[in-house]
Structure 1
Amino acid sequence: MTGAEISVPATELTLVITTFNRSGYLRGLLDSVAALTPGPVRIVVVDNASTDDTQDVISAAASRLSVPLINVRLPVNAGGAGGFAAGVERALAEGASWLWLMDDDVVILPGAVAALAKWTGTYQCIHGRRLDEAGQPFFWQHRFLPFLGIHIPIRGNVFRDAPVFSTNVGCFEGMLISADLVRRIGLPDERYFINGDDEIYGWLASRLTDVVYVNDFVLQKVRPQKQIDLGIRHLNDSSDLSRFYSMRNRGHTGQYLLAHGRYSRTGFALGTLLTAGKELLRLLAVEHRIAGVPSLWRGWRASRTILHDGTWQPMPALAPAPPHDRKHQV
């Protein structure tokens, strides 16, 4: 399968940011956007009902940026998944051709937009590389295994022989995706709240076209995290809320696999055990505590309810763009 030919100007990109109570990180990200040449044509910031000074940061940035900043303030915290669903929907309504999705705890490196733009003539779903807080390459090279319903790390230098690594998993910390592909998939699934929404979105994209990871550094994480190096991957610290959703959202992932005829009861059960094992290792080896174990149990119980919900439906595809907006048709 090959990506469709799309030719898009380097600046025809809409940046979609989701934020919640991290105004300091958001300020740094918007400062990095202001320094970009070329930069995005518009910015959509989704504020997940923050209670800090996030709205002040957005207003200040809007007054100094040279491109429109659209402030979408949600009445409740819908999580990263709900935030990206709202942001993507608004970006499409504003006429976006390409959407660059990212969390608030990164900064954009100089030249990033131009670096990614050179791939938009070939691919429809693109991930650039990231640096960690210390300026070292951040590990992100995985593939999703439908049999297990999890993504697994790929060892070694995936760019040793080519500047493109083909994958089938997504990450909303820097996914660049064409609006036409978004319409074919549908909005990100807000039911995930956090954890796994981008993973499954990348897998859904891979069923329609190539999903790639390219050897261009475009982002740097700025939020410090505890982590350990396991050789084939790094394992970061987390939270009990995240642990709950890592298990609970297994139900939604299983339903997507069922909907696409890729669900294996045995394989999925094994994948659930592996997910729980990873979270236990995270607790013991990274966070040095066991108090988060009940969150895993509650999440697993919730996942069973979702997985056996006979009314569950995948997110629907969206209406195609009007004829006058199809100059970048996939």
Structure 2
Amino acid sequence: MTAPINSDAVYFAPLLPWQTALWAQLTSRVLTPPHQLPHALLAAGTSGLGKRAFVWRLVAWLLCRERETHLRGACGVCESCQWLKSGTHPSLAVLPQQQMPIAIDSQDTALKTRDKKSKSSKASTETLQRIKVDDIRELQPFIYQGGQGLRICVLEHAETMTVAASNALLKTLEEPQSQVHVILISDHPAQILPTIKSRVQQLPLYRIETRLALDYVTTALGGVVNHERVSSDEIAQLLTLAEGAPMAAIGLAQSDWYGKRALWLTTWQALRAHKRSSTAASDYWQSQLDIDAFIALSELMLTDIQRLVLGLNMRQTDLDMSAIKDSMLPDTLSIADFAQKMQQIKAARLQNVQDKFAYDSLMQALSVL
């Protein structure tokens, strides 16, 4: 089982500034006798932390033939690095098998390998292939082939393992093999069985100093969002909305829909006041965003509306919420109904339901929110 073909940028990307200390710690453990690197690792946390960037960089370095003289990353020229570049490394197995290694999280922008406007790039949890027990069983020959040197197994989106797959992996974790490392990556570690998590060492990739995150996002955006200069407060808001994940914040700022938040509020208020029909609103928004982007926008807005209903402060302090605060706020049941409608449309999208039908349905639900 070999690694899928992918850009070499995945394996040789620069180390992110908040990962330098952890990188030094792990590489020191590898190079200092008795070479104590845990046999099973978990890179977990919200999307946009850069955990995938760290994992694939670590994979390349561990396999690199010149790692002892290239402490900050794989050399990029040895036979092992060439195998990685071609996607034919015999010592690397990745599950799901057709899962292309991506050095970024689903909302990251750096090293993006797909067109950000492509409708085929829906990498949401709903579209992920589950890791099944047969997938884990197929790993067994790779794991137990003694005397074959260092071998690495990477399980992307480990939370998608079925119970049977988790139990099969558990046996492997309970009987670690020499020179075999299993690395799990997950955006939703709470969905991984506790028995699995108890047998892996979690990498502290979720601890990012606020100043480092602010500086990184500010530099990456060049101080500009939607062609306008942004303040440090606006950068801080992006990080808040992204749950502190720097590259998710960058992805948010560069999304097609982030600059349309005030317009969403205007549409909602017009629908509630019967100043605009749901059909007219649907037709307009179809010309602005695809339905997936509008749902992402709606989910963000709904979160802050719910905060208002609960008496909490809005996180989007750059929006004028006076009109909403002065009007009758929706009740929690209505919010739950709208959230459920969005989930239903997401599921319907997997069955190739047309944008127009999805938009019409969602606008009708928004009019009664």
* TM-score > 0.5 by shorter chain: no
Report the structure, 1 or 2, having the larger helix content: 2
Report the structure, 1 or 2, having the larger strand content: 1
TM-score by length of 2: 0.22
TM-score by length of 1: 0.24
Larger radius of gyration: 2
